[in-house]
Chains A and B, each alone.
Chain A
């Protein structure tokens, strides 16, 4: 291989020395990453072509059967529908609320740190703890639950939030948990984005007669936040795709997990690790999901013109 023009063609002792130090620094990390990310990925792809029930070293090659099986399975398709519905709720809701909070908190003249801390604090909570509070206290579906108590004050009927599918109130429970937990994180991102907008932009806009409020937001703030917005939406979609904790903890009970509202990871969990341990089918499902998320990510990046990000700062 050619070496950079500034050095001689043979590798010099200095270069060899640098190669040595490079691997001293990077080697342990690279080795671990290879072992715990690339090896499992490759193994999974390999497993997906085998009939692998309860075994990780199968011998029964089945070609693409696992793929046709998983794509034909209603449970798999309904997992994709669940993800789509969840994303349609949670991404716009989190985006709007976190941006709104950042704008409101950012303009405060006092107590800014206090409000930022309050909205950011739920980030310290785990989905398990949040789901526990939502399931056993706020939306427990009985008389002494907080939501039903509040409904009672207005004379409304009690709602069995999590155990009714008609109407599917469980979506409200699922979406509010995640909204509460993650909004502060994205608000902090937007606050950082707002701070990077040069004040001269606002001064120039004021000179041009733009009125503070909606006009300024529409023509100055929102376009200047483009890079942050792109990052936020990408992260929101990827995180919604990986939703597992709150679904599992809110919906499963002593009788197991209900047949509805199973997002992709819950589907994978029960297919690959539940009874029967169908690792071949689970691996095929994981490969399909990895491809879907890759396509979605790249498509989003293209759509938003991620390449232009650096120019816009």
Chain B
């Protein structure tokens, strides 16, 4: 009995490993296709019969992409970088201050303010995109970086995560700062922020990924070519199919490089951020 049980357990374990390896390979296929098609020629891609990799890797596709005047890739990358960095910095600043205030500074109506913030979590941001578009267009912000960045800076989710975090922050540190004669503002910057770096990293990475990959808002607001983000540029050429296919794939591959770097370097913070977002989101 015990022996068959052991054999069963071992067979189960082996089966599980085989399944995991197969699934992992399946999950990596899209990344492989980005590379394969991005470094191939048009003829390689459309050839009958599958080749694992093109006979020759055409790294020159990269130069072709950035030299192509009909594809504003460099400008789109610049826009995406500016938007993602500004959104991340702005969100962290605004949401952490608000989260700290809500968690730590006693005020009669703090609960009412908190519920007003919480209420917007229940309203899916995407359902408000029509009215937000209306507002931004009446401000004259269509196709501007302002219009792409400012309305996305006020994340109820980030504020909520910071508030929950600061509720559990050890009070002794702030008390000591107060004894030293620091006011709330300097206490926050000199004592609280330096000791809360992990939560800043967790929220920051999640916000950065979201801003880099955002599509609907940039599509609606960034209408002019000059205001295109990487996602809007890729989407325009995917749906119109006016660009060579290998160029499109190399562009897509380039567009995920910054995020892959963020992922490889900061994965533990991203995981921490995901864990925070799921349970209370």
User: Interface residues, chain A, CB within 8 Å of chain B?
Assistant: 1, 3, 18-19, 21-22, 24-26, 28-30, 32-33, 36-41, 43-44, 47, 56-57, 101, 104-105, 107-108, 115, 117-138, 143-144, 146, 149, 180, 184-186, 188-189, 192, 212-213, 227-228, 231-232, 235, 238, 241-242, 244-245, 248-249, 252-254, 265, 268-269, 272-273, 279, 282-283, 286, 289-290, 293-294, 297
A43–B135 CB distance below 8 A: yes
Also in contact, A29 and B154, with CB within 8 A (given A124-B262, A189-B274, A244-B215): yes
| Shortest 8 CB-CB contacts between residues of A and residues of B | A25-B101, A44-B131, A40-B131, A29-B98, A126-B213, A32-B154, A189-B278, A22-B107
B159–A41 CB distance below 8 A: no
B134–A279 CB distance below 8 A: yes
Also in contact, A242 and B252, with CB within 8 A (given A21-B101, A227-B279): no
Most central of B48, B125, B154, B248 by chain A CB within 10 Å: B154
Also in contact, A19 and B107, with CB within 8 A (given A33-B156, A136-B238): yes
In the bound complex, residues from chain B placing their C-beta under 8 Å from that of A143 are 48
Contact of A272 among B48, B130, B159, B278 (CB under 8 A): B130
Also in contact, A253 and B239, with CB within 8 A (given A56-B134, A123-B209): yes
In the bound complex, residues from chain B placing their C-beta under 8 Å from that of A135 are 238
Min CB–CB distance A59 → chain B (angstroms): 16
A286–B127 CB distance below 8 A: yes
Beta-carbon nearest neighbor of A192 in chain B = B275
Contact of A254 among B45, B151, B241, B280 (CB under 8 A): B241
Q: How many residues of B contact A (CB 8 A)?
A: 98
Tally inter-chain residue pairs, CB-CB below 8 A.
Answer: 276
Contact of B123 among A37, A123, A245 (CB under 8 A): A37
In the bound complex, residues from chain B placing their C-beta under 8 Å from that of A286 are 127-128, 130-131
Contact of B209 among A124, A130, A132, A144 (CB under 8 A): A124
In the bound complex, residues from chain A placing their C-beta under 8 Å from that of B28 are 118, 121
Complex Cα distance A252/B241, Å? 11
Chain B, 35-68, CB within 8 A of any chain A CB: 37, 45-50
A56–B137 CB distance below 8 A: yes
Min CB–CB distance A137 → chain B (angstroms): 5
What are 27 A-B residue pairs whose CB atoms fall within 8 Å in the complex?
A18-B105, A21-B101, A26-B97, A29-B94, A29-B95, A30-B113, A30-B116, A32-B154, A33-B156, A38-B120, A105-B20, A108-B17, A129-B231, A134-B30, A136-B248, A137-B37, A149-B50, A192-B278, A244-B216, A248-B215, A248-B235, A265-B127, A269-B216, A269-B220, A272-B133, A289-B127, A294-B122
Complex Cα distance A37/B9, Å? 54
Most central of A21, A101, A104, A122 by chain B CB within 10 Å: A21
Complex Cα distance A297/B281, Å? 12
A128–B239 CB distance below 8 A: no
Complex Cα distance A130/B154, Å? 28
Per-position 1/0 for B117-129, Cβ under 8 A of A: 1001011111111
Contact of A40 among B46, B128, B216, B239 (CB under 8 A): B128
Min CB–CB distance B46 → chain A (angstroms): 5
Also in contact, A25 and B124, with CB within 8 A (given A127-B215, A130-B30): no
Per-position 1/0 for B139-154, Cβ under 8 A of A: 0000000000011011
Contact of A245 among B19, B98, B216, B274 (CB under 8 A): B216
Complex Cα distance A263/B164, Å? 34
In the bound complex, residues from chain A placing their C-beta under 8 Å from that of B220 are 269, 273
Complex Cα distance A83/B143, Å? 30
A126–B50 CB distance below 8 A: no
A129–B256 CB distance below 8 A: yes
B105–A25 CB distance below 8 A: yes
A37–B154 CB distance below 8 A: yes
B151–A36 CB distance below 8 A: yes
Complex Cα distance A132/B231, Å? 11
Complex Cα distance A122/B213, Å? 12
Beta-carbon nearest neighbor of A234 in chain B = B281
Min CB–CB distance B27 → chain A (angstroms): 6
A138–B123 CB distance below 8 A: no
User: Interface residues, chain B, CB within 8 Å of chain A?
Assistant: 9, 12, 16-17, 19-20, 23-24, 27-31, 33-34, 37, 45-50, 94-95, 97-98, 100-102, 105-108, 110, 113, 116-117, 120, 122-135, 137-138, 150-151, 153-154, 156, 159, 183-185, 188, 209, 212-213, 215-216, 219-220, 231, 234-235, 238-242, 245, 248-249, 252, 255-256, 259-260, 262-263, 267, 270-271, 274-275, 278-281
Beta-carbon nearest neighbor of A181 in chain B = B30
In the bound complex, residues from chain A placing their C-beta under 8 Å from that of B117 are 29-30, 33
Contact of A228 among B124, B129, B279 (CB under 8 A): B279
Min CB–CB distance A156 → chain B (angstroms): 15
B20–A282 CB distance below 8 A: no
Complex Cα distance A18/B256, Å? 46
Also in contact, A231 and B279, with CB within 8 A (given A124-B262, A126-B213, A127-B215): yes
In the bound complex, residues from chain A placing their C-beta under 8 Å from that of B154 are 29, 32-33, 36-37
Also in contact, A44 and B46, with CB within 8 A (given A18-B106, A115-B20): no
B150–A231 CB distance below 8 A: no
